[in-house]
Amino acid sequence: MSNDTNNIIDCLIIGAGPAGLGASLYAGRSGLNIRIIEKLSPGGQAIVTDWIDNYLGFKDGISGFELIENMKAHALRFAPSVENGEVIAIRKEEGIFSVELSDRTFIATRTIIIATGARPRKLNVPGEEELTGKGVSYCATCDGPFFRDQTIAVVGGGDSACQEALFLTNFAKKIYLIHRRDELRAVKTLQDKVLNNEKIEMIWNATVEEIKGDAEVTGCILKDTKTGELRELKVGGVFIFIGIIPNTEFIRRLIKTDDLGFIITDDWMETSLEGLFAAGDCRAKNLRQVITAVSDGAIAAYGAKHRLI
Ligand code: NAP
Structural contact between residues 69 and 39, judged by C-beta atoms closer than 8 angstroms: no
Determine the Cα–Cα distance for residues 185 and 100; give it in Å rounded to an integer: 39
Q: Is 46 in the pocket of ligand 1 (CB under 6 A)?
A: no
For residue 47, the domain's CATH number is 3.50.50.60
Provide the CB-side half-sphere exposure for 147 (13 A, CA). Answer: 34
**Does residue 120's CB lie within 6 angstroms of at least one atom of ligand 1?**
no
pLDDT of residue 50: 85
Region class of 93: left (phi > 0), else alpha (psi between -120 and 50), else beta: beta
241 alpha carbon – ligand 1 mean position (Å): 7
Q: What is the pLDDT of residue 48?
A: 86
Active site residues: 139, 142-143
Give the ligand 1 atom nearest the CA of 244. Answer: 26
Q: Are residues 169 and 214 in the same domain?
A: yes
Which of 52, 185, 245, 281 maximizes ligand 1 atoms within 8 Å of its Cβ, making it the mutation to test the pocket?
A: 185
CA pair distance 152, 217, nearest whole angstrom: 10
The answer to whether residue 222 sits within a structural domain is yes
CA of 109 to the centre of ligand 1 (A): 36
Based on the fold, state whether residues 163 and 206 are members of the same structural domain. Answer: yes
Domain count along the chain: 2
The alpha carbon of 105 and the centre of ligand 1 are apart by a number of angstroms equal to: 37
What confidence score (pLDDT) does residue 31 get? 97
85 is a domain residue = yes
For residues 181 and 144, membership in a common domain is answered with yes
Distance 171 CA to ligand 1 centre (A): 22
- For residues 115 and 127, membership in a common domain is answered with no
How does pLDDT run along the chain (309 residues), one tens digit per residue? 444 556 999 999 999 999 999 999 999 999 999 999 999 889 998 998 888 989 999 999 999 999 999 999 999 999 999 999 999 999 999 999 999 999 999 999 999 999 999 999 999 999 999 999 999 999 998 899 999 999 999 999 999 999 999 999 999 999 999 999 999 999 999 999 999 999 999 999 999 999 999 999 999 999 999 999 999 999 999 999 999 999 999 999 999 999 999 999 999 999 999 999 999 999 999 999 999 999 999 999 999 999 999
Residue 81 and residue 48 in one domain: yes
To 5 degrees, how large is the angle CA 103–CA 104–CA 109? Answer: 110
Is 2 among the domain residues? no
Beta carbon of 244 within 6 Å of any ligand 1 atom: yes
Residues 288, 250 share a domain: yes
Terminal-to-terminal C-alpha distance of the chain? 23
Any domain includes 233 = yes
Are both 132 and 24 inside the same structural domain? Answer: no
The CA angle 130-135-139, to the nearest 5 degrees, is 105
Domain hosting 49: range is 9-119+244-308
Give the Å distance between the CA of 158 and the centre of ligand 1. Answer: 4
Nearest CA residue ID for atom 16, ligand 1? 242
Closest residue (by CA) to atom 46 of ligand 1? 185
**Dihedral, 169, 180, 49, 78 alpha carbons, nearest 10:** 170
Q: How far is residue 309 CA from its own chain's centroid?
A: 32
Q: Would residue 4 count as lying in a domain? A: no
Q: Which residues of 4-18 are buried (b: 16+ CB within 10 A; e: fewer)?
A: eeeebbbbbbbbbbb
Structural domain contains residue 1: no
Q: Using CA positions, which residue lies closest to atom 24 of ligand 1? A: 243
Residues 109, 248, single domain; the answer is: yes
Instruction: Among 200, 216, 240, give the residue marking a domain's end.
Output: 240
Instruction: Determine how many CB atoms are found less than 10 A away from the CB of residue 246.
Output: 24
275 lines ligand 1 (CB under 6 A): no
pLDDT at 250: 95
- Amino acid (one-letter) located at 40: L
Give residue 236's pLDDT.
98
The predicted pLDDT at position 2 comes to 43
Which residue, 240, 263, 286, sits at the end of a domain? 240
Residue 243: CB within 6 Å of ligand 1?
Answer: yes
Q: What is the pLDDT of residue 6?
A: 66
Whether the CB of 132 sits within 6 Å of ligand 1: no
- The answer to whether residues 115 and 259 belong to one domain is yes
Q: Tell me how far apart the 2 most distant CA atoms of the chain are, in Å.
A: 67
Whether residue 99 sits in one domain with residue 47:
yes
Alpha carbons 81 and 293: distance in angstroms, whole number: 20
Which residue among 188, 219, 240 closes a domain? 240
Is residue 293 one of the residues assigned to a domain?
Answer: yes
Q: Do 189 and 44 fall within a single domain? A: no
- Name residue 190's amino acid: L
1, 24, 289, 51 alpha-carbon torsion, rounded to 10°: -120
Q: Are 167 and 140 a contacting pair, CB within 8 Å?
A: yes
Please give the C-alpha separations between residue 165 and each of 158, 160, 250, in angstroms, as whole numbers.
Answer: 11, 8, 33
